[in-house]
Chain A
Amino acid sequence: MALVQQSSPHARRARPTSRVMLWVILAALPGLLAQTLFFGWGNLINVVWCIALALGSEAAFLKLRGKPVAFFLRDNTAAVTGLLLGLSLPQFTPWWVSGIAVVSAIVVAKQLYGGLGSNPFNPAMVGYALALISFPVAMTTNWAEAATLWGGAPGFGETLAKIFTGGQTAVDGWTMATPLDEYKHKIASHTSVEVLGHPTFGDLIARGWEWVNLAFLAGGVLLIALRIITWHIPVAFLAGIAAMSLAFGSNADQYAPLQLHLLAGGTMLGAFFIATDPVSAATSHQGKLIYGAGIGVLVYLIRSWGNYPDAVAFSVLLMNFAVPFIDHYTPPRTYGHHKARRGVPGRSGG
């Protein structure tokens, strides 16, 4: 009688990594939907292209490393990286720019560091930052104008052509700077009221962008309810931005107002989907709060005083550097101890 021999526990909750990743993809769909509705087919095409390329490059590299391909592809993590990049990149990004972003995200930031679970930096953001620094023009002039799908946005075929063949097409007329970009550049010479009158800023605060951000917020709340992520990072992130804005940027004639920060750009996507990437984020609750707040503060700093209109990618990467240090100094206080054992464990112990 060959009985199975194993260590306890013998029961397991049925929520493997692949299912967790599927939920993340599902939770991002409302945001993707909003993007498609308000900005056209660009994001959707990018998402499909990026996911395909992500899976492909991961498969190729796993084969090169001699690892079982299907086993690792099945956990859907490469798909999520592709999705996040597709969501973050400008709608009309040329295929080769997004291609380079995806491939560097998967190959350089993930596989070369050791594969799943070993990357110190957020792979999607590494790809984004790489593309942004290497191809600044392509990454800043390809944002679509907020125009609803039925209200005149470029058609599917046109968008496809623009992305994959580039060049001068009729679609060029549909690009526009993002609201944050717009505000940042215009506020130097106009008052806040004047700036906000621009059609980019729509009814609420940022035409199209506000709905996208609200949709991502909804998806994020779903993830928290499912306990796939905890509330610490998103709340700390948003609180960081809010605190900075209230402290330094209350004058709308100098700085973008708080609503704009929260509802435009990649704020909600960053808060709930990007900063919460578990592999590169801090571990303990206290650590997550510090990590999230740090990202929020950096986002505000770079947006207001830095060169870039949106800063989620850079802020996340900068805080990724700090994660090991944060982890060493914010372990939880274990049951039965008076206080947590902080600090880096040395060779001579404790």
Chain B
Amino acid sequence: MTQLWDFTGGIHPPENKHQSTARPIRKAAMPDRLVLPLQQHIGEPAELVVAVGDRVLKGQKIADVTNGMGVPVHAPTSGVIEAIEQRPVPHPSGMADWCVVLKSDGEDQWCALSPIDDYKQLEREAVLQRIREAGISGMGGAGFPTDIKLRPPRDRKVDTLILNGAECEPYITADDMTMREQAAEVVAGLKVMAWILRPSRCVVGIEDNKPEAIAAMRQAVAGTQIEIAVVPTKYPSGGEKQLIQILTGQEVPSGGIPADIGVMCQNIGTAVAVGRAVFEGKPLISRVVTVTGEAVREPGNFEVLIGTPIHHLLETAGMSQERLDRLILGGPMMGYTLTTDSVPVVKTTNCVIAATAAELPAPPPEQPCIRCGQCAEACPMELLPQQLFWYSKAGEFEKAEHLNLFDCIECGACSYVCPSSIPLVQYYRFAKGEIRTQRAEQLKADRARERFEARQARLEREQQEKELRRKERAKAAAEAQAKKQAEAEMAAADGQASDDRAAKAALVQQALERKKAKTAADTKEQPVPSSTEVADDKPDIEALEKQLTQAEAKLNTMQGMLDEARSQQADNVEKLERAVAKNHDRVQRAQQALDQARKQVAEEPASSQ
């Protein structure tokens, strides 16, 4: 007898499961169009690997995730890729997302399959890769890629592998019927997972309201070490955290995963999919879905192709439009309402409830909270829903977070028992959304502030560098001037004759320094014409003579070009005339400068220094 623990709280809503267990699992008819959302899993959306207009075979990969976490999407039947567009997808918002529309050709032709004969001969990694390539993600509702889940982080060893057959939510019987009719496949898949993880204990948790499923599973595990644990029926014992507590007595740490305590929980449907992927080579392209509610004539479970529009499924079950009041995807406790029945079945769809108004009546208007504490009595996570409600309503999200708002699993037990009919779970979802948005905005604001401050720093730095350069230029110019004056003094003091050459050398030196200073100076400064320089510094006869010679030479060249142009009646005559005139001026100026310089040198000995 397996030892069982209990979790605090929980409720006992009416089960309403008998309606859909009266008939065996039926195969849903093929719709003519399948709508396949590119994101049916947690992670990055998949990208198309085929083109619009391509013909694909059943089981062929049509989209894959290359950057990031995710699993591929496969064609559930053979046909033609008709379009890739925004279509309504199963989501509480009712919004659309990218989907591939596949028009089936009616032939249902499989692609080439490669089942594995003996998976135990392979490396673990190869089997995990096969599971990923089959597009398997958690089918219990979350959609986490199974291959990643089966690879716990390095230092975590999974001791207990749990298969979640509790199915605690009312109305849903998909797992129940799967266990009844496909118990062997369930166990086959479980064995593969156990081989990958090598746990010391394998247990299947089933609620005691499923005697046939328990019997079938007991038969299927006969001779193995797998335990079948029958747990008392209570909602939400099928929640991962609660089932782990029931079967192991341990609690998953807040913010952590079950692997942190050496436990892993997998869904019944996922086990079947793993088995099919390994033993038959088939990717995940169909699943069992419960169709129930008083608005359908023949409720029951169907084996449905992924991508089948819900309305097609409802027609098969015989739904009457007039009686339909509310369409729920999922169960009555955690499912969300649909605004349109054209959303497709995805990998995580386990149930569709077509409810009449009498079956699931509209809730009475919300009354003020009387702080009765029934919600805290029912909460399986031992939270204080009452306080969370007060804080969420008042917008005091920090206080709500302090009371562990993010540990809420949104099971709905608190709202179920509330005498004032307060939609508690909606308040918590709203609060969580607000907190997440605020965190994201804060992150963005911090980044913006960092960038702004970095930019300010950069501008300041550039300003400072500019200042520094200008100061250095000024300093260098001042130094050069001082030096030149000092040397000239020295030259004058040292006597004239023998230092004629030295003076000349000094003059040359000064000229060189001047040139250096000039090149380092601001380019905006106009080049100082040689005439003014002559006025400030000691005249440089040689340089001036050279300038004159150069100017004269250039004048001659230009004159020659002008004459040629004139004789040829060319277009640039005017330009050349202007150039010649300019050069003429230049020659004159150079001559003048030279004369002045000579005069100055001649006058120098007379001038007192």
**Interface, chain A (partner B; CB < 8 A):** 1, 3-13, 15-17, 19-20, 71, 75, 77, 115-118, 227-228, 230, 278-279, 281, 283-284, 327, 331-337, 341, 345, 347, 349-350
Contacts and interface: CB of A to CB of B under 8 A. Distances in A.
Interface stretch (B45-53, B80-88, B210-218, B318-326): B318-326
Nearest to B415: A9
Contacts of A337: 253-254, 404, 407
Contact of A334 (B328, B362, B383, B429): B383
Nearest to A331: B384
Given A3-B338, A7-B425, A13-B13, A279 B402 contact: no
A13 B417 contact: yes
* Shortest beta-carbon contacts, A-B, top 8: A9-B412, A336-B254, A345-B402, A117-B368, A7-B426, A278-B372, A4-B326, A345-B399
A18 to B, nearest CB: 8
Given A8-B425, A335-B380, A279 B415 contact: no
Nearest to A7: B426
A118 B368 contact: yes
B381 to A, nearest CB: 4
Contacts of B410: 8
B405 to A, nearest CB: 10
Interface centre among B241, B340, B399 (most CB of A within 10 A): B399
Given A9-B415, A335-B241, A335-B251, 6 more contacts: A3-B338, A8-B333, A10-B332, A10-B335, A281-B371, A336-B381
Contact of B386 (A77, A227, A283): A283
Interface of B: 7, 11, 13-14, 92, 94, 170, 241, 245, 251-256, 321, 324-328, 330, 332-341, 355, 360, 362-365, 367-374, 376-377, 380-384, 386-387, 398-399, 401-404, 407, 410, 412, 415-421, 423, 425-426, 429
Main secondary structure of the interface of B (DSSP, over half): loop
Contacts of B253: 336-337
A332 B387 contact: no
Given A9-B425, A331-B384, A336 B407 contact: yes
A1 B370 contact: no
Given A17-B419, A332-B376, A349-B402, A3 B337 contact: yes
A10 B360 contact: yes
**Considering residues A5, A13, A228, A341, which has the most beta carbons from chain B within 10 angstroms of its beta carbon?**
A13
23 contacts: A1-B321, A1-B324, A8-B330, A8-B412, A9-B333, A9-B334, A9-B412, A9-B425, A10-B337, A10-B355, A12-B421, A71-B365, A71-B367, A116-B370, A117-B369, A227-B377, A228-B372, A230-B377, A283-B371, A336-B254, A336-B256, A347-B398, A350-B402
Contact of A327 (B365, B387, B416, B419): B387
Contacts of A71: 365, 367
A13 B412 CA distance: 11
Contact of A8 (B335, B370, B374): B335
Nearest to B380: A335
A90 B468 CA distance: 94
Contact of A283 (B92, B367, B384): B384
A336 B381 CA distance: 8
A80 B254 CA distance: 41
